[in-house]
Every structure is written in C-alpha cells, then in structure tokens.
A and B are shown apart, each in its own frame.
Chain A
Amino acid sequence: MTCPTFEQLFATAMQHVPADEALRIHQHLDTGCDVCCREFCYAQHIVAAATCPQYQQPPAWLIDQTMERILTEITDADEFLTEGIPVRLVFDSFMGATLAGVRQGGHAARQVVYQAGDYNINLIIRPAALPETISIMGQAIPLHRDFSAVAQAQVELWQEARLVQAVSVNHHGLFVFDGLSEGTYDLCLRLEETFIKIVGLCATTGANRTDAVN
C-alpha cells in the first residue's frame, strides 16, 4: 500500500479505524517505512499525552474563586503602591535652578533629580533615535554609594495604570527606557522591601514643563 496520511496514522494510534484498515496500516509500518514509522510514533505520543488519565482540569468554581482572589490581589497591589518611600523633586533643568555638582543635560534634554529617603534618582529625558520618541536614562544612586542595594532592581514605567516598560537596574544603578512617546508617566523603582514611586513624571523635551510629584 502507499503511505497512509497523518490523519490515518493518527486514527490508527487512537484505534479509531476498522480492523482491516488498521491491519493494512500496520503491515505498511512493518515494511520499515521510515517516514511513516516516525509519523506513527509522533501520533502515538500525542494520543498518549492527550489521554493521560492523571491530567485533569480544575472545576469551574475553583477558577472563578481564584479569579476573584487574583483581582483582589491586583487591586491591593495598586493600593500598596500609594505608599513607599516619599519622593521629592530637588532639581529640574527646565526650572532654571542649578544645584552645585549636578550635571546639566544638553539643550534638547531635560534633567530631573528626585530624592527619596537614602536614594537620589537622576533622570535625563532626551529625544531618542526614532523620530517623535524620547528616552529616559536614569540612575538610582544610594547616598551611601553601595550600588548593590539597587543592582538588578526592577524599574517600571506606568501610564494610566498600564505598564509601559519594565527594565532592570545595572550594577552602576543605571537604567534606560527607550522609544517612548512624550507624555506623563509614573516611574516605580522596586527595591528589596520597599519601592520608590515618582508620580506624574512629565516626560517631555519640549515646552510642557509642568511636573508633579508625590
């Protein structure tokens, strides 16, 4: 006989073919046809997995109950994020004030520095390589200069309760968000046991110079 189709081999693996057809297919496999033997083995493997008696689905009520708890958890997480280390803006290059020892960005760039507990967060907002996009380059600087406190910490950029990007801080406290559109963002630096959240960061390199911070 000519090679059976994958569907025929599959039906044979499931024992869903009449006995005479199954016999013909097995006779063909016994001739040692490599391709069919491989296909049949693959079909048998899928069938064995699909019919594994120990594999079970959870009942619908358990999914529903778990969904409720997950939604509560997510909501609680939002409420939690209203706390954390208090943050204050100490420098904004667009505001004209310059603190001693703080480097300035270029003409098109904006530099803002926040202080939060034992950390400074230095952000430079500048036009990115792609047109009409910006990047935010930041550095989380522990005042005691021990960068292990921030290394590998996650930094998230949120906009209207949506996570836009999340990156990790490197061993020098640096992180970069790229390809962003201008707008207002919330930036959250997640530390070991707490977090720093900058709310209402006006990420613009243009004329919008309003900024707000909690």
Chain B
Amino acid sequence: MSTLTHDAVGPVPISVSLDSRLHYKLPDAELIELCLNKDEEAWRVLLERHGGLIYSIAWAEAPPEDVPDIFQSVCLALVQGLQRLHDPSKLVAWIATTTRRHCQRLRQRRRRYWSAPDEAEQRANDPVDTAALPDEKLQQLQQAHLVHQAVTMLDEPCRGLLTRLFYEDEPPSYEAIAGALNWPVSSVGPKRGRCLQRLRRTLEQIGFSPS
C-alpha cells in the first residue's frame, strides 16, 4: 500500500508531451499489437494515452491515497487483459469497467474491515453503491478522454496548438501562438481551423459522438 498524501497524488495540469515519437499516432489496434509483442515504447504510449481515464475514474471513486494503487492494479490487469481483448475498439470500455470494479472491490474490503459484523453484512448486501460514479459522470469522463486521446494522436503543429487551446488555463492569444511557432499572425486562424478539422476527423475515427 502506498503511503501518499492527498497533495502527492493530486491532479496535475493536463499536458500532452510534444516529442517526436512515432507510436503516438498509431490507432489502438496497432498499439495493442505492439504491446503484445512487448514493445516498451508502445506500453508507455498506451499508458499515457489511456492513463487519464483510469486515473480520473479512480480519483472520482476512491480515496486519494488509494488512487496510485488502483491505477497500477488496473494497468497490470491490462497486461493480461490485452491478450484476451479481441476487439480493440472495446479497450476504453474495458478500462472503464475494470477500473470501476477495482474501486468497488476496494470499497467493499474497506467496509468489511471497518464496520461491525452486522453492519458490514448489511452494507455488503446493499445493492446501491452510493460511492460509485454515476453513469452520466462516467460518460462525461469517457468523452473527455476521447478528446484528449484525439489531441495526442495529432501531428505537430496541431497537437501543440490544440493542447495550448484546450489545456492551458489562459488560452494564448494569436500573437503569442504566432510568436511561439514563428508564424505570421494572420496564419494562426486558418491553421487553427485546419487543426480543428483534423481533430474532428480523428474524433470520428476513435468513436467520439455527441450524446
């Protein structure tokens, strides 16, 4: 069991690393195949791509000190789970379900441990798990996850541009973007428009749809 404070595991600003690795563009199906072939870089990209969903669900359903353990347990379950996952498009759903099960098991263990025997039995038989994330919230997290995933799959400069747009507290002005990327200010708008179209295509490919 990790001994961590709330601060140590607290949320960090969403960021998308701007390196030049090739794996990040691969769709899940190809990434999974590489992971099954024990490709270390593919595993890292898979964790970076989908870790946010595991972490967010765990953060919503479990006490902060348990979040790292849950995260690692789900990732290790993924080592075996990938071998049995016949449909790569089900990966996000598999991750969400597995994370929720890990959180639920943890809650049940905690209740049994901390409650008086009668109370523990009563709670264990209670069909309503009030600490579980409502389906609507889970769906929101999955949608947020898909947008983040789509951004990470884009090429530069779109990846960096949309990362700044979505995930910085104060979105930079056109002048700041133009200065950072050495573009004329007048080209930022059209380029951002093209990046948004690319994002849209990627979102469609990975199954994002307005509910």
What residues of chain A have their CB less than 8 Å away from a CB belonging to chain B? 5-7, 10, 14, 16, 41-42, 45-46, 48-52, 54-60, 62-63, 65-67, 69-71, 73-74, 77, 154, 161-163, 166
Contacts and interface: CB of A to CB of B under 8 A. Distances in A.
Contact of B51 (A10, A14, A57, A166): A57
A74 B83 CA distance: 12
Contacts of B14: 55-57
B38 A161 contact: yes
Contacts of B52: 55-58
A7 B193 contact: yes
B197 A6 contact: yes
A79 to B, nearest CB: 13
A62 B52 CA distance: 11
Interface in B1-34: 9, 11-15
A interface, by DSSP: helix, strand, loop or mixed? Answer: helix
16 contacts: A42-B200, A42-B210, A45-B143, A51-B166, A52-B141, A55-B140, A56-B52, A57-B12, A58-B12, A59-B12, A65-B72, A66-B51, A66-B72, A70-B47, A77-B79, A163-B36
Given A49-B147, A66-B72, A67-B43, A6 B193 contact: yes
B37 A50 contact: no
Interface in B110-157: 137, 140-141, 143-148, 151
A55 B145 contact: yes
The 5 A-B residue pairs whose C-beta atoms are closest, nearest first, are: A7-B193, A55-B144, A52-B144, A56-B11, A49-B143
A46 B143 CA distance: 8
Contacts of B143: 45, 48-49, 52
A86 B147 CA distance: 49
A158 to B, nearest CB: 10
Contacts of A10: 196
A59 B9 contact: yes
A54 B140 contact: yes
Contact of A7 (B9, B55, B192): B192
Given A52-B141, A74-B79, A58 B193 contact: no
Interface of B: 9, 11-15, 36-38, 40, 43-44, 47-48, 51-52, 54-56, 59-60, 68, 71-72, 75-76, 79, 83-84, 137, 140-141, 143-148, 151, 165-167, 171, 189-190, 192-193, 196-197, 199-200, 203, 208, 210-211
A46 B146 CA distance: 10
Contacts of A16: 171
B interface, by DSSP: helix, strand, loop or mixed? Answer: helix
B178 to A, nearest CB: 15
Nearest to A190: B83
A154 B57 CA distance: 31
Contact of A70 (B9, B55, B79, B190): B79
A66 B56 contact: no
A46 B56 contact: no
B137 A49 contact: no
Nearest to A56: B11
Contacts of B140: 49, 52, 54-55
A131 to B, nearest CB: 25
B189 to A, nearest CB: 6
A162 B35 CA distance: 11
Contacts of B165: 14
B148 A55 contact: yes
Given A57-B13, A60-B12, 15 more contacts: A46-B199, A49-B208, A50-B148, A55-B140, A55-B145, A55-B148, A57-B14, A57-B55, A58-B71, A62-B9, A67-B47, A69-B72, A69-B76, A70-B43, A166-B36
A107 B168 CA distance: 68
